[in-house]
A and B are shown apart, each in its own frame.
Chain A
Amino acid sequence: MKRTVPLVITFLTGFFLIVAFFIPHEPFGELEQRLLVWFAIVSGFTMLLGVDNLIRSHAKRIARTDTGWGHSIALLVGLVVTVVVGAIGFARFGSPFHMQSPFMFVYTYVIVPLQGTMFALLAFFIASASYRAFRARNTIATLLLVSAIIVMLGRVPIGAAISDFFPAAQEWIMDVPQLAAKRGIQIGAALGAVSMSLRIILGIERSYLS
C-alpha cells in the first residue's frame, strides 16, 4: 500500500498530463492547469524543507564542533539576518524588494559582492589551468587547443584587427562543428529524458520512492 498509492498517483498524473498535451480541451486543459498550479505550490514548500534541512545539518555540526563549525555559525547568522531584514522590509515597505528596504541594502552590499567574488575566482583558476593543464598531448587535444585559441581571438576586437580570418573562423566553429556536437548531445539527452519519464510513469523506475 505504501508503495502502490504513490505509483498509482504518479501513473495517473503522468497519463493525464500527456493526454492534456495532445488534447488541450476540457476537461483535460483545466485539469492540467490545476495540476501545474499545485506543482508550483508544492515547489514552494520544498524550499521550506530545504531551509529546515540546512538549519538541522549546520546546527548538528556546531553542536559536535566538527571541522569548519565556525563557518556553520556564519551561515546560520547570515540566514537569520537575511530573514529578519526581509521581514522588516516587508513590514515597512510592503515588500523586501522595495528599493529603500534594508533587505535590498544587504542584497546589494553583501550578497551580490560575495557571489560575484566567488565566481570571479574562476578567472584566476582558468589562467592557472591554461598554463599548467592545457597540453597538446595528442592530435585531439591539439585540435581542441587550436580551436580554443581561434575562438578566444575571434571574440575580442584585436582578433579582427590581426586578420578577418579570426572572427570568420570563430563564427564557423560555433555554427558548424560546435553546433553539430551540441545538437547531438541535446537529442541524446531528450531521448534519455523521454525514456526515463516513461519508466517512471509506468512504475519501472522506482528509485524516487526510496
Chain B
Amino acid sequence: MESAPKRGFWEAMNNLDRRIIFLILLVCVAIPLLLNVGAPIPPTRPVQLAYDAVESLEAGDVMMVSIDFDATSAPELMPMLRSALRHAFSKDVKVAMLGHIAIGLPLGHMALEEIAAEYDKEYGIDYVDLGYRPGYIAVMIAMGRDIGDIFASDYRGTPLAELPVMTGVRSYDDIELLFGFEHGAVIDYWVRYTQARFSQRMTFGTTAVMAPDAYPYLQAGQIEGLVGGLKGAAEYENLIGHLGLATRGMPAQQWAHLLVIGFIVLGNLGYFFTRRKN
C-alpha cells in the first residue's frame, strides 16, 4: 500500500486552516480588551492641530459637528467624537450637530446627550441636534447662505427661531469651526464646497483608512487638523486629559498589527521556501 507523500513544514504552513488564523486574531484582540490596559499616547502634529483648533474657540462660539459615519466606524470615531464634545463643552462652546449619514446620526445624538449631561448643558440653549437632510452638497452650499432654508427646525421639529442656541446663527459666517467625523467621501464635499467657497474653518476626525485622503487638505491648509483612526482618538483623549475607549483599545490594535505583520512574514517565508523547492 502506497502512503501519501509527506508534506514539508512550509507546505503545511502555506495550507494552514484559516479558522486557526481567525482564532489567533480573536485571542490577540480579546485578551488586551479584557485586561483593560492602556497607556496615554503622545499626540502627533495633525491631532495637536485639531486640538488647537477647538482650543482656539471662546465661550459662546458655535462649533458645528457633522456626523458622517455609521456603526461600522463607531469604534474609531465615537471616542474622538466624545473627546471633541468634552473639549467644546469644557470651554462653554455651543454645539450644533447635523449629519449626512442618516443611519449614523442617532449615534452622534446619543454621544451629544451623554456628554452634555456630564457638563450640565441644556438642550436648545447650549447645544442642538439639527438632524438629517438629504442631498449632501446641496445642503452644504445652501447653508452658506441661510441655514434656516435647509434646517427650518431641529430633529424634534422645534423651529430654529425658538432655540436660543441658534440665535444669531444664520450661515457659516456665524459658525466658528466645523468638526466633521468621517468614514467616507463626505469630507471631500465639506472641503470642496464649504471650505473652498465659504472659507469655513474646519477640522476632521476620520477612520484610519480614510485619513490618507485627508492629508492633502491638511498640508494645503484647507483643514486645520486631523484626528486619524483609533490612535488619533487616543491622542486626543490624552490631550484633553480624559482617557477613554480609544486609549483602552490601542493595546488590542497593537497586537492585531503585530499579528498581521507576523502573518505577512510567515506567509512570505512559506512562499519563498516552497517556490525554491518547486
Determine, out of B1-9, B53-61, B150-158, B160-168, the stretch whose residues face the partner at the interface: B150-158
Q: How far is the CA of A116 from the CA of B250 in the complex (A)?
A: 18
* 1/0 contact string of B140-180 vs chain A (CB within 8 Å): 01100110011000011100000000000000000000000
Of residues B24, B71, B259, which shows the largest number of chain A Cβ atoms within 10 Å of its Cβ?
B71
Complex partner residue of A158 from B142, B258, B264, CB under 8 angstroms: B258
- In the complex, whether B244 has a CB less than 8 A from a CB of chain A is no
Q: How far is the CA of A136 from the CA of B264 in the complex (A)?
A: 9
- In the complex, whether A163 has a CB less than 8 A from a CB of chain B is no
- In the complex, whether A33 has a CB less than 8 A from a CB of chain B is yes
A140-179 contacts to B, CB under 8 A, are 145, 148-149, 152-153, 155-158, 167, 171, 174-175, 178-179
Q: Contact at A127–B106, with CB atoms within 8 Å?
A: no
Complex partner residue of A97 from B109, B134, B141, CB under 8 angstroms: B109
Q: Contact at B212–A182, with CB atoms within 8 Å?
A: yes
Q: Contact at A40–B231, with CB atoms within 8 Å?
A: no
- In the complex, whether B48 has a CB less than 8 A from a CB of chain A is no
Q: How far is the CA of A116 from the CA of B107 in the complex (A)?
A: 12
- In the complex, whether B25 has a CB less than 8 A from a CB of chain A is yes
Q: Contact at B231–A155, with CB atoms within 8 Å?
A: yes
Q: How far is the CA of A123 from the CA of B209 in the complex (A)?
A: 13
Q: How far is the CA of A62 from the CA of B254 in the complex (A)?
A: 46
Q: Contact at A149–B133, with CB atoms within 8 Å?
A: no
Q: Contact at A134–B22, with CB atoms within 8 Å?
A: no
Chain B residue with Cβ nearest A145: B264
Count of chain A residues near B, Cβ 8 A: 58
Q: How far is the CA of A108 from the CA of B257 in the complex (A)?
A: 29
Chain B residues with CB below 8 A from A32, complex form: 141
* 1/0 contact string of A99-116 vs chain B (CB within 8 Å): 100001001100111111
B195-230 contacts to A, CB under 8 A, are 197, 208, 211-213, 215-216, 219, 229
- In the complex, whether A39 has a CB less than 8 A from a CB of chain B is yes
Complex partner residue of B260 from A21, A46, A116, A152, CB under 8 angstroms: A152
Q: How far is the CA of A21 from the CA of B144 in the complex (A)?
A: 12
Chain A residues with CB below 8 A from B240, complex form: none
Chain A residues with CB below 8 A from B216, complex form: 179, 182-183, 186
Q: How far is the CB of A179 from chain B (nearest CB, A)?
A: 5
- In the complex, whether B31 has a CB less than 8 A from a CB of chain A is no
- In the complex, whether A80 has a CB less than 8 A from a CB of chain B is no
- In the complex, whether B74 has a CB less than 8 A from a CB of chain A is yes
Chain B residues with CB below 8 A from A39, complex form: 135, 138
Q: Would you list the 4 A-B pairs with minimal beta carbon distance, nearest first? A: A43-B134, A115-B71, A119-B72, A40-B135
Q: Could you name 19 residue pairs across A and B whose Cβ atoms are closer than 8 Å?
A: A32-B141, A39-B135, A39-B138, A40-B135, A47-B134, A99-B113, A111-B103, A113-B71, A116-B75, A124-B22, A126-B260, A128-B18, A131-B16, A149-B261, A149-B264, A157-B250, A171-B44, A178-B212, A179-B215
Residues of chain A touching chain B, judged by Cβ–Cβ distance below 8 Å, are 21, 29, 32-33, 36-37, 39-40, 42-44, 46-47, 94-95, 97-99, 104, 107-108, 111-116, 118-119, 123-124, 126-128, 130-132, 134-136, 145, 148-149, 152-153, 155-158, 167, 171, 174-175, 178-179, 182-183, 186
Residues of chain B touching chain A, judged by Cβ–Cβ distance below 8 Å, are 16, 18, 21-22, 24-25, 29, 39, 41, 44, 70-75, 103, 105-107, 109-110, 113, 129, 131, 133-135, 138-139, 141-142, 145-146, 149-150, 155-157, 197, 208, 211-213, 215-216, 219, 229, 231, 250, 253-254, 256-261, 263-264, 266-268, 271-272
